Amino acid sequence: MQMIRPMTLLLLLLVGAFLWPPSALPAAPGVESVRFGKAAFAFSAGFIRKDIPVDGNVSLTTGTQSTGDNRRLLGTGDQLFMKMFNPDEVSPGDAYTLYRVVHKVFHPASGSYLGNLIQVVAIVSVVKMNQDLATVRVVRAYDSVVPGDTAMRFVPPPDEETVAVGRMLPSSPGMIVDLPPQRTLIGQRNVVYIDWGREDGLLVGDQLEVFRVASGLPMRVIGELQVIALEDNTATAVITRSTATLIRGDRFIFKETPHPQAEEHVKAAEAEAPPVAKPSTEMTQTQEAASAVANIGLQQDGVRLLASLASQLQYEPGQVEVKPEDQNVLKQIGDILKNVTDKEIRIEGHADDMPIGPSLKPQFATNKELSKARAVNVVRYLVEEGGVDAANLSAVEYADTRPIASNKSEEGRKRNRRIEIVLLPKEPSESAQGKTTSRADSGNTPLPLAPGEGPASAP
């Protein structure tokens, strides 16, 4: 038998080592548990978090070979290269999670910073190291891997509790605070991100009902959620049922009280809350939430819902009309405000500090006219399409005199291009027909839509 030459044998060993299949690499503990099925779906659904490790990123040079083939989209089984920030701590077989920071998330009602929306794209396993450059293979791709994606050491999802004896449940409805990236129609089988988390007593598997104000009714249930992943103050939930497209600002409650002791805590919280007029018949939890929306002058939940909806309206520079995709939001605002009969409703228009361009000068001489047009258009819609009593409405323009963000950046200017909704106490000594824009600015102290949070605003 012919002997294999030593040089040929060495070459075969080197090629075999390079082409060693991913399945033969040592698997990090827990990787197999999130490769398929419900666990993989929950792991890859994304989350909101303020702080997240950064251990490396995908190199601009990618491909299946050590040189050339610089493809820009890679998936399971592909090889790529990552620059590691602590190369001395990396060994062959180590697993890393690749993720993408989508954007910062702010609460639709309070405006508080919740963290960054993180999209999980893949799990990779280290094949070899060359100084600070790691050669890795994709062992599970949830999305296309692209240059610039960030890496953190893979950590298996924690075993969350599924039963909590005597847990304290939130006493007011929660809110959908964000949607998956690049999705415009969110319905059944999609995920959403909510403002309840571990610290609120939420558990994986909890069932939630999503509700919204509807025309002619104080509220209607539009969907159901199931919690699939938890953070301390937020959670990820999958939509298990939907009768309408879900949006940021939609509210939710527990579908059922999940534990007898929790029900006692809810009753105690209700006993401490200000009294609300209720029908004589027994009311379900969903109906109580509807009552809070209908009695908007007495309860803050309904007012916060109004604020969260208003915060979704956006204006481009020089634009005064609400975007077509925001018409549904404006309709919901009208459905709420037509039930408000004990307050004056003041629509305030605002603008950034950019000068009016030549093409808009004939229509809007200054930012004052532009901001007034924004407020008037909303008032007109609420009267003509929303059924709100015109006697309760007024429009005020503030131009660029009340910014809520710096005008030095486009993001700040975008926040300043907005409308605000302020509820004022009615003055019984004056008739509704005599209310004008100037009277709405006569020194009355406005009632903020949410205490300590300011009026509802739309960027």
Identify the CA nearest to 295 among candidates 218, 401, 372, 379.
218
Q: Are 100 and 141 in contact (CB under 8 A)?
A: no
C-alpha atoms less than 13 angstroms from C-alpha of 128 in its C-beta half-sphere: 7
> How do residues 221-272 score in pLDDT, each as one tens digit?
889 999 999 999 999 999 999 988 898 888 898 886 444 434 444 344 444 4
Give the per-residue pLDDT at 458.
Answer: 40
- Residues contacting residue 312 through CB under 8 Å, at least 6 positions apart: 108, 247, 248, 249, 326, 329, 458
Domains present along the chain, CATH in parentheses = 21-153 (2.40.30), 174-259+284-291 (2.40.10.410), 296-457 (3.30.1330.60)
Give the per-residue pLDDT at 329.
Answer: 79
Q: Are 301 and 285 in contact (CB under 8 A)?
A: no
Give the per-residue pLDDT at 25.
Answer: 43
CB atoms under 10 Å from CB of 201, counted, come to 18
User: What stretches in the chain show pLDDT beneath 50?
Assistant: 1-2, 9-10, 12-26, 65-68, 257-299, 429-459
State pTM to two decimals: 0.53
- Report how far residue 232's alpha carbon sits from residue 195's, in angstroms, rounded to the nearest whole number: 10
Give the per-residue pLDDT at 387.
Answer: 86
